[in-house]
Structure 1
Amino acid sequence: MDNLIGILSAVVSVVGAIVAGVMTSWSSRKATAFEAKLERERHEETKAEQAAKVLGRYREPLLLAANSLQSRLFNAVRDEYLPVYLHCGDPEQEDYARQFTVYTLAEYLCWVEIIRRELRFLDLGGEEQNREFTKRLLDVTNTLSSQKYERAHYRLFRGQQRAIGELMMQPGAEGHHDCITYPEFTRRLDEDPRFRYWFERLLREVDDIADQSEAGNARVIDTQRALIDLIDFLDPDKTRLGADHRAKYVEATPSPAPPPTSLTGSSPSVTTVSARPAAG
């Protein structure tokens, strides 16, 4: 009997030790998983904070670059600037008309590339605002690269957009990046053939913008509109740019044809033509 009791006690002790070990292991795994979950949440918060910091740092220069580009495209298509100065007979004014038009595009692409690089290892998909920001940038990128338009002028594929953005970058304060100024841009065009190579076609195509109709400039018009959407996102309260900087290009409505003049010189009578099809 004593032996049986001893055996049972030993069995109970062994089972208890096994159960205790299992519970300890389970508790340890739970604690480890919980700590890992907390660490992931802390990491996600850190990434969100880093993303917000990057967007805060570059919001202003991106906003101003987007505005400069949309304004230039708007006026170029509306025929208020380029047709006047591209062939005005003053070489300095003609160079400026072409070069600054291209600079506004290159400057915008530069700030987009800077932001892309600084956000490269951050996940921006977690918040609605970040997804919306990414969408607005992609709308401009996709419009510039799209092959759906009849005319190819000012088409830049994604790799070309990034290459131009990279060429425009220069070291900035505290290890960040900045965009080169317009004088530096023109100096490099004059002195660096490898730099100028990336802009030769765009410089020529400034004339195409001036020569094309609104239909032929559909890509340019759609880019201007996408930039306005980006500006509205970056400055929703219009604290930096007022409402006068938010106009999307609207194609001009063709004027109605004048009535035909009668051979006798008298005022022609006006006949109303019904759009209803003839019977039978």
Structure 2
Amino acid sequence: MYNSYREYSEPLLKAAAKLQDHLYIIGRRKATGKKVLDNPKYTAYLLGRFFCYVEVFKQLSPSMAFGKPRRDRIFSNILGRIQVILAMDNSELVQLYGGDNCSSNIENPFKIPSQEQASLGQLMLRERWLEYNFRGGSPHKTSSYAHSGVHFPEFTELLEENSEFSRWFGPLVEALNPDHVIGASDSQNLRLGLFQTALVDLVDFLDPAPMCTIIPAYRRRRLYTPPRMVHTKLPQTLANIYSEEADQRDGMLPQFHGVPNTVDVFVSGPTGVGSTFHTKVSNVIGDCPYSHRVLLALEEKQVSYNLITIDRKLRPSWYYNVHPEAKVRLDEDLCAGAQGMGMGMESTRGYICPDAQTTNTG
């Protein structure tokens, strides 16, 4: 299982790393006024290659156990956030991430509907072209052949000679003309910046720091920070989850860190909130029943917890990894009651995020 997990997660990791690195270089050159010497076909290829390995994971996920539920949920939400960023309407994107002063006129080529993302990824699967007579000859069919993507020379040949392939990728290549890719300092670059940042989050999850065993740290530069996103250090409880996931992927015995004495509970609201549910917390977590059950269960079990509030307008990037729509959600089966939450607390190793929206009434 470990070998299979790494066999299919490592190509996705490398595809995400290469794509975000490529987008970073394009964005920075545009931001500094330098000419972007970019082949739009190669950018389209990198996008298709990433979508390809996302589709591979979707095909294999029902039959493979990729880790514990907490890690599966974070991983799924990162992929979901990437999909949503590319597919979301401009006005919705600005409302969620852009802030009050961000332009709603987002003119860039990175708006790709979800269905189109899946179609592009499926077209990149080598399995689809087993009988295609490439000029350079068909590659050798290894055991992982069916779950790999076409290479760039094959991509360009299909783009030029196959009508189905060019019908899907042709408009994308045209839209990816370097003159259409807006620089990192431009407020209209919201979608590109969010997309590149989410790809870095995926790289950080699959190959966490400080080990960085596959993708070095210097290749994880973020293009820019959106108005409603701040960079803060990853909480240690969440960093432990990332490390355990990487150990499992690499076939190593995970280094579990044990259940902490104090549980970190992240909520949305102003800073300086009291540390017990019976004081000011009800004004912060609002009417969400799951949030109430989490805190009530902890108090009933006499488990110490530390409330960490996050400004709902200035959220750290890792906050969005928990839910693609910037809301932190708990599984219902972990919130059914105090007994269930007692088990849930142990399984999450102290990292619990209620779905909290600020409704501070004073």
What TM-score does the superposition give when structure 1 sets the normalisation length? 0.62
In terms of mean alpha carbon deviation, does 243-252 or 106-115 score higher? 243-252
**What is the match of residue 159 of structure 2?**
189
Is the 8 Å Cα contact of residues 112 and 165 (structure 1) preserved in structure 2?
yes
Displacement of 1:101 in angstroms is 0.9
Q: How far does the alpha carbon of each residue in 1:43-90 deviate from its partner, in whole angstroms, 9 at most, with x for none?
A: xxxxxx5xx55432112211110011101111222226996355xxxx
SS at match of 1:199: helix
User: Partner residue of 2:18?
Assistant: 68
Residue identity over aligned pairs, in percent, reads 28
Change in Cα spacing, 1:227 to 1:85, as seen in structure 2 (3 Å) is closer
The structural deviation recorded for 1:188 is 0.6
1:224 alignment partner in structure 2? 196
125 and 64 in structure 1: CA distance in 2 versus 1, 3 angstrom threshold: closer
Which runs of structure 2 are paired with 1:198-209 in the superposition (5 Å)? 198-207=168-177, 208-209=180-181
Q: Using the alignment, how far apart are the partners of 1:187 and 1:158 within structure 2?
A: 25
Which of the residues 113, 118, 126 maps onto 1:157?
113
Aligned to 2:57: 115
1:249 counterpart = 2:204: no
Q: Does 1:168 align with 2:140?
A: no
CA distance in 2 between counterparts of 1:229 and 1:141 reads 14
Whether the 8 Å contact between 1:168 and 1:179 is mirrored in structure 2 is yes
Asked if the contact 1:169/1:179 (under 8 Å) is kept, the reply is yes
Which string of whole-angstrom CA distances, capped at 9 and with x for unpartnered residues, describes residues 180-234 of structure 1? 0000000011101221111122212223115796222211110000000000011
Deviation at 1:125, TM superposition (A): 8.9
**Are 2:92 and 1:136 equivalent residues in the alignment?**
no
Q: 1:98 corresponds to which residue?
A: 40
Deviation for aligned residue 1:156 = 1.1
- Where 1:196 maps in the other structure, the secondary structure is helix
Larger helix percent: 1
Partner Cα distance (1:85, 1:76) in 2: 6
Query: Cα deviation per residue 1:139-196 (whole Å; 9 max; x = unaligned)?
Result: 1111111113432622111111110000000136336411000000000111012211
Q: Which of 205, 213, 216 does residue 239 from structure 1 map onto?
A: 213
Partner of 2:181: helix, strand, or coil? helix
Work out the CA distance in 2 between the residues paired with 1:190 and 1:210: 27
Instruction: State the shift of 1:99 in Å.
Output: 0.5
Q: What displacement does 1:251 show?
A: 5.8
Partners of 2:212 and 2:64 lie apart in 1 by: 28
1:79–1:210 CA contact under 8 A, matched in 2 = no
Q: Is the 8 A contact 1:154 1:220 kept in 2?
A: yes
Structure 1 residue 126, shift from structure 2 partner: 5.3
8 Å Cα contact 1:54/1:115 also seen in 2: no
Distance 1:188 1:123, change over 3 A: same
For structure 1, list consecutive stretches of 5 or more residues without a partner in the other structure: 1-48, 87-95, 253-280
Cα offsets for 1:98-132 (capped at 9, x unmatched): 11011111100000001111113557695211111
Q: Which amino acid aligns with 1:57?
A: E
Query: Once structures 1 and 2 are overlaid, which stretch shifts more, 57-66 or 183-192?
Result: 57-66
Structure 1 residues 211 and 80, CA gap change in structure 2 (3 angstroms): closer
Structure showing greater radius of gyration is 1
CA distance in 2, matches of 1:109, 1:59: 13
Name the stretch that deviates more: 184-193 or 202-211. Answer: 202-211
Distance in 2, matches of 1:131 and 1:124, equals 10
**Worse-superposed segment, 66-75 or 166-175:** 166-175
3-state SS in 2 of match to 1:118: helix
Distance change (3 Å), C-alpha of 1:145 and 1:54: farther
